[in-house]
A and B are shown apart, each in its own frame.
Chain A
Amino acid sequence: MSDLGMFFGLLGAAVAVLFAGAGSALGVGIAGRAAAGVVTEDPNKFAQVLILQLLPGTQGIYGLLVGFITLSKIGLLGGGDITVSLPTGLMILAACLPIGIVGLISGRSQGECSAASIGIVAKRPDQFGKAMLFPAMVETYAILALLISILAVSNIPV
């Protein structure tokens, strides 16, 4: 039974890294296509559009963050003898769900938003500060999900 607990704990880490990472990959990809288009027209805007492209990349990092905390929680990273009971494993899985799912959806949405902001920079480069803000709005919800995931994972007694 203890193995099954470990399995669900690991599944939690996987869910966090996998979905949040996939969201970021989608988002950065969407924004990257828009950025490449702008750079074709005006190579001088490279730095600005690169920053906008990178904005949806944070969800993947949040997923990694939760994944890492989870792995050290269940003792896979140099923790030694920790037995994870089945209920604990399931709890860890549940704790990982917010950042996984919100990371996926917000990463993608933030990518679309970034692409639109890259459009702002293409036409009005002086409005970079404002353009940067719209994708950052989407990210708020990834941060809230991250917060709950971190608090939940670190407060589950093992």
Chain B
Amino acid sequence: MAVVDMQKISICAHRSNRKAILETLQSLGIMQVVIDDLDDPELMKMDTADARARFEKNADLADQAIAVLDTYVPEKAGLLSGFSGKKLIDKEAYSHIIDTQTDIMAEAREVLRNEKAISECNGNILRDENQIEALVPWMKLDVPMSFNGTKKTAAFIGTVSGVCDEAALYAQIREKAPEADALSVNVLSTENDSTNVFVLCLKEESEEVEAALRAAGFARPSQAVSGVPAREAERCAADIEKQKAEIAGLEEEIRAKAPTRGDLRIVADYYRTRAEKYRLLGTIPQSRNVFFLEGWVPADSVDRVETLLTTRYNAVVEKEQKQEEEVEPTLLHNNKYSENYEPVLESYGLPQHGRVDPTFLMSIFYCFFFGMMLSDAGYGLMMAIGCFVVLKKCPRMGKGMKKMLNMFMWCGVSTTFWGIMFGGFFGNVIDVVAQTFFGYTGATPILKPLWFDPLTQPMRLLVWCMLFGLIHLFTGLGIKGYEYLKQGDVVGFVSDIVAWYAFLIGLILILLPTDLFQNIAQMEFNFPAFVAPVAKFLTFAGMIVIVLMSGRANKNWGLRIALGAYDIYGVTSWLSDVLSYSRLLALGLATGVIAQVINTMGSMFGGGPIGAILFAVIFLVGTVLNFAINVLGAYVHTNRLQYVEFFGKFYDGGGEPFVPFEVKSKYIDVKEEA
């Protein structure tokens, strides 16, 4: 439960060992490299952009080939495959596959070539289909589209505007060209507002006929097809068949490559790792013979790194003193249970070095409050068992996912606990089923709450919620006090922490026995007689210390007292903080009551088989919905209680996360030698 100590080290080694050392560090993944600006003209950086770009391009190619394979040969995805994480490969198999990388990449290129050919074929098919579509109106034509007459005749193939029949068009042309006796007009097809026609006339009369046709809005077809339409369409159809056969063949070829998918994943990750190595290589300073590397390593791993690098590569490893302006990166280390809550802390901000890591304390409150907000044994069991099964089935899932599921599993256990305390099991499903289907008429509830029913005694639970909240807040204040003491600031500890404890506890002890509070809470407090004067003493002593001391940074006594008096006003923020914990009650009630609404709705169809089926359907759908929305609510508001109320008392984050130089893989992990 702490922030891990960091040690800055610098490594100096011969250039010949450069890549080997980087590879070792990369596979260890325990060093965050710091890049310094060069101030020595002897030192320079190597240009690795080309090598890096080559590896990145290869990784990209392999990724694309994998994507193509996934499209054409989808892998059977299990229900839990989303959780299964990266595959583990042992080192020997890994290096064996890396040795054949050129062959594997050739296969990848072929897959991509086939994919490209398929898309070209698809383009051809589309073109053919458009062609056929365009030829449909001209199908009746038995001469080529480009036909414009014989030796004696002239032909016009085209479209006139408006819908008209042969006789009407004939009359229209004759009107404009009276001497054109030998005129043949054929309507091939009509469309919405145009007619496709074939007009034949004598060559010597063609000019007049053409003029007449133009007047009727004649235009030659826009597509450049020359052959006979029916034959052209046949040719296109045949071409489509051919392209389809080709696609089938290409797809078959791609499918045949499916077994290389595993190897492709390995080489893709290999190239990615290489690219990352070259990225770093390009940033480290080197002279003609040696290179330098600086970075942060967890303090307890320094010796391991040192022995490894000195014995294996003759490198010089030195521990460096932390400079004034340098900030150590933060890495957290917590016990098996609490480490699951680290992501919650991370999303608020990591602690700086020298500050307290609140993960352990937070993890206890987190679980506790989450359970109270959901407080249904049925939902809790669903959550706990569901997370447990997934965790057991997929041992290799990613670290973040694993932590999250572990966290929710424990929250599920806590939810079950609170469900039993408050008598909630899928709302009141046991009572409803017993009454509706088994004619139970005895006393309800059958499942009695171990503690009490919050729906009938909400005030009682509210008081408890505020008590839990007060403990949470006091813990936060306590952590701040611990930090004061660690820094040796006893004055701060007494005036900012002890004084507030005394002031608040005194106030509470004064408030509890009053009639006002006892009426609200419907509880009675009978303190022994000595409590009242003690409470008053605590309150005033605390108040005086706060007034005098909280503005101690100011020399001016008038200002100092004024600031102190203003700080007393901070008691209102304590009040609102404590009231904020009423959400424990509200959200807990929401889960239970909505579950009851669902059960009531389900039971409205009475007993009997149909009623049972409808009940099952409504119960299932309703439960899933209620579960989802309330888990979300509990999650959000538990976070809020930690972030705003708890952290507000002592914590401000601001730490830089530890980002080690490591293997950045997407598909596989390589098993290290023991």
Contacts and interface: CB of A to CB of B under 8 A. Distances in A.
Interface of A: 51, 54-55, 57-58, 61-62, 64-65, 68-69, 77-78, 127-130, 132-133, 136-137, 139-140, 143-144, 146-147, 150-151, 154-155
Interface in B620-674: 629, 632-633, 636-637, 639-640, 643-644
Interface of B: 344, 346-348, 455-456, 458-459, 462, 579-580, 582-583, 585-587, 589-590, 593-594, 596-597, 600, 629, 632-633, 636-637, 639-640, 643-644
A58 B633 contact: yes
Contact of B590 (A65, A78, A128): A65
B589 A65 contact: yes
A144 B578 CA distance: 12
B354 to A, nearest CB: 24
Contacts of B633: 58
A59 to B, nearest CB: 11
A132 B639 contact: yes
B586 A62 contact: yes
Contacts of A69: 455, 593
Contact of A147 (B455, B582, B600, B636): B582
Contact of A128 (B347, B458, B580, B589): B347
B624 to A, nearest CB: 14
B594 A54 contact: no
Contacts of B640: 133, 136-137
Q: List the 3 shortest-distance A-B pairs measured between CB atoms, nearest first.
A: A129-B347, A136-B640, A143-B583
A69 B600 CA distance: 13
B344 A61 contact: no
A61 B589 CA distance: 11
B405 to A, nearest CB: 15
Contact of A61 (B458, B590, B637): B590
A64 B590 CA distance: 9
A61 B629 contact: yes
A22 to B, nearest CB: 18
B593 A154 contact: no
Contacts of B632: 51, 54-55
Nearest to A132: B636
A155 to B, nearest CB: 8
Nearest to A153: B458
Q: Is the interface of B mostly helix, strand, loop or mixed?
A: helix
Given A64-B597, A147-B462, A150-B586, 14 more contacts: A57-B629, A58-B633, A61-B629, A68-B597, A129-B639, A133-B643, A136-B639, A137-B640, A139-B637, A143-B583, A151-B458, A151-B459, A154-B456, A154-B458
Q: Is the interface of A mostly helix, strand, loop or mixed?
A: helix
Contacts of B636: 55, 132, 136
B596 A68 contact: yes
A154 B644 CA distance: 30
A146 to B, nearest CB: 5
B291 to A, nearest CB: 33
A147 B639 contact: no
Contacts of B629: 54, 57-58, 61
A133 B348 CA distance: 10
Given A65-B590, A129-B639, A140 B347 contact: no
B597 to A, nearest CB: 5
A116 to B, nearest CB: 16
A147 B347 contact: no
A53 B459 CA distance: 32
A150 B587 CA distance: 12
A128 B347 CA distance: 7
A99 B462 CA distance: 18
B347 A143 contact: no
B630 to A, nearest CB: 8
Contacts of B583: 140, 143
Nearest to B592: A65
A54 B589 CA distance: 19
20 contacts: A55-B632, A57-B629, A58-B590, A64-B593, A65-B589, A65-B594, A68-B594, A77-B600, A132-B636, A136-B636, A136-B637, A140-B583, A143-B583, A146-B586, A147-B462, A147-B582, A150-B589, A151-B458, A154-B456, A155-B459
B591 to A, nearest CB: 9
A157 to B, nearest CB: 14
B459 A62 contact: no
Contacts of B596: 68
A18 B579 CA distance: 27
Nearest to B600: A77
A144 B633 CA distance: 15
A46 B297 CA distance: 37
A61 B598 CA distance: 13
A133 B639 contact: yes
Contacts of A61: 590, 594, 629
A133 B647 CA distance: 13
Nearest to A150: B458
Interface centre among A51, A61, A68, by most chain B C-beta atoms within 10 angstroms, is: A61
Interface centre among B585, B596, B636, by most chain A C-beta atoms within 10 angstroms, is: B636
A136 B580 CA distance: 12
Nearest to A58: B633
Interface centre among B583, B586, B596, by most chain A C-beta atoms within 10 angstroms, is: B586
A130 B349 CA distance: 10
B347 A65 contact: no
Contacts of A139: 637
Contacts of A54: 629, 632
Contacts of B459: 151, 155
Contacts of A51: 632
A140 B584 CA distance: 11
B230 to A, nearest CB: 46
Contacts of B589: 65, 150
A140 B580 contact: yes
A143 B580 CA distance: 9
Nearest to B579: A144
Contacts of A128: 347
Interface centre among B458, B462, B593, by most chain A C-beta atoms within 10 angstroms, is: B593
